[in-house]
Amino acid sequence: MLDVKMIRQKPDEFKARLSTRGVAAEEIDALLDEDQKRRDLLNQTEQLKSQRNKVSGEIAQAKRNKEDASDAIAKMREVGQKIKELDEQADQAVAKVNDMAARLPNLPNETIPVGSDESANVEIRKVGTPRKFDFEPKAHWNIGEDLDILDFERGAKVSGARFVYYKGLGAKLERALYNFMLDEHEKEGYTEMITPYIVNDDSMFGTGQFPKFKEDVYQIKGQNMTMIPTAEVPLTNYYRGEVIPDEKLPVYVTALSPSFRSEAGSAGRDTRGLIRMHQFNKVEMVKYTKPEDSYDELEKMTENAGSIMEKLGLPYHVITLSTGDMGFSAAMTHDLEVWMPAQDTYREISSCSNTEDFQARRAHIQYRDENGKLDFVHTLNGSGLAVGRTVAAILENCQNEDGSVTIPEVLQPYMHGVKKITK
């Protein structure tokens, strides 16, 4: 959440930078107008409270002098009623200011590309060379169905579109991947966690999903509970409302979890395969850092995600997202996209973001610096990796002409020695 005080001090700067994220200047003006109304109401209330204190003193003095204080008492009641009315108006103004501020996206880092959509994204580097096939590569959904390791038809029968059954060595491959990912992240200093998969509204607000993106998630009807869209939510909210000891920072945590997404607005996109599912597994990385360290930590997190693909032998590239393509809470995002031979293109498999203090303000996560001053931490999150998309990438990149799929060498111990999936 952005600091309204800072917006008030530098309105033109915030208008200019947020305009690159689709925020109209009128939205900032409306927020500042409501904030001024709030401040005026609070100022009036303070003046009346000061007047009430003065009248209270006059009443006390009159009583000590055994004088008639009825006029002063009536005056105090009148002032008290006015204070009550102004307090109610101020509470409404505060709630409105907070709601308006909560719907503003994070301020983009000044170094990222400016643009309205993904066309403005900038490639940082390519890693690995896409394999040249001497046969026509098949799409992962055809490979999975031919090998009888993915069953989309029965997934749709039981649950609906964008659900799947993993079977046999397909299920074993998924399990091998997330165990491998968790082990690799542990080597990099991340503490593995198993989190709740259902969270409350305060948690969804803390990471920026609420109040603006409720249509993107699955909520429990009649309850203040939501099925998590990513383990970022419970991992980041772990320290919500707390002060992290300075000596603990940075904190690295990781978790495997299912992710549940309504995919609102994705009709017609990726209707086949594992790319865009309502339920999928993902290994998440989250960091809490001091402000001065957060961008170095973003680069390390991006490398952590990339190293998984390098060890699996999957070609990928890293791009920095433009202001118009970046997620709501992010100040800077690096996407890692894996090469998908059947589509002849790169597809997102990880997104690593620095939210700076945006989430920490919403979730009120602080630390005490070396001078004893309280300050907000910076939080970062990234996929390490989306497991189903990694399965898809392995099926396509490691397929053979006879329809079999060779298991990457680093995964073979996790597959109990299985080196190839065959019909």
Binding residues: 230-232, 261-263, 284, 348-351, 381, 383
Strand partners, 382: 285, 352
CA nearest to 149, candidates 343, 348, 391:
391
Which residues belong to the active site? 261, 276, 348, 351, 389
- By the 10 Å C-beta count (0-12 exposed, 13-18 middle, 19+ buried), 44 is classed as middle
Residue type, 264: A
| Cα gap 162→156, rounded to integer Å | 7
Q: Please state the separation of Cα 129 from the chain's center in Å.
A: 31
| Cα gap 304→282, rounded to integer Å | 15
Q: Please state the separation of Cα 290 from the chain's center in Å.
A: 18
What secondary structure letter does DSSP report for 283? E
- By the 10 Å C-beta count (0-12 exposed, 13-18 middle, 19+ buried), 367 is classed as buried
> For the chain, what is the radius of gyration of the CA atoms?
27
User: Count of alpha carbons within 13 Å of 384, Cβ hemisphere only?
Assistant: 35
Decide if 317 contacts 337 (C-beta within 8 A): yes
Extract the annotated binding site for L-serine: 230-232, 261, 284, 381, 383
| Cα gap 58→56, rounded to integer Å | 5
In degrees rounded to 5, what are phi and psi of residue 71?
-65, -45
Instruction: Please tell me the total number of residues recorded for the chain in this structure.
Output: 423
Decide if 339 contacts 117 (C-beta within 8 A): no
Extract the annotated binding site for ATP: 261-263, 348-351
Residue type, 63: K
